[in-house]
Amino acid sequence: MDIRDVIIRPIITEKALKYRDFHRTYVFEVHMNANKSLIKEAVEKLFNVKVEKVRTLIVKPKPRRNIRNRRKLGWTKAWKKAYVKLKEGYSIEALKGV
């Protein structure tokens, strides 16, 4: 797997911004087959930072309804989330202004 395929997008929510500001932890949506060491390597090479710790979890799919046809049910997709804690003195400048 290519390093650019590991990280899909950053997660920008109130909780994620609180983690970034108080704990030096950034939240990303990552590829389902990516493991912790691959995520660490990808973040270090893409953003030129040092990673202290990586925690991952799989967000389970949730039921949803079609807006036009209320009887038609569906599911959101399952996806993988990674909490990446950086070492002291490092930050990701590309995500600072968000």
Number of domains in the chain: 1
Write down the residue that tokens 């807006």 correspond to.
Answer: 67
Residue 66's CB is within 10 A of a number of other CB atoms, namely: 10
Instruction: Identify the pLDDT of residue 39.
Output: 97
Region 51-60: mean pLDDT is: 97
Helix (H, G, I), strand (E, B) or coil at 52: strand
CA pair distance 88, 62, nearest whole angstrom: 37
Residues of the domain holding 31 = 3-95
Confidence of residue 18 (pLDDT cuts 50, 70, 90): very high
What is the domain-level CATH number for residue 79? 3.30.70.330
What pTM was computed for the model? 0.88
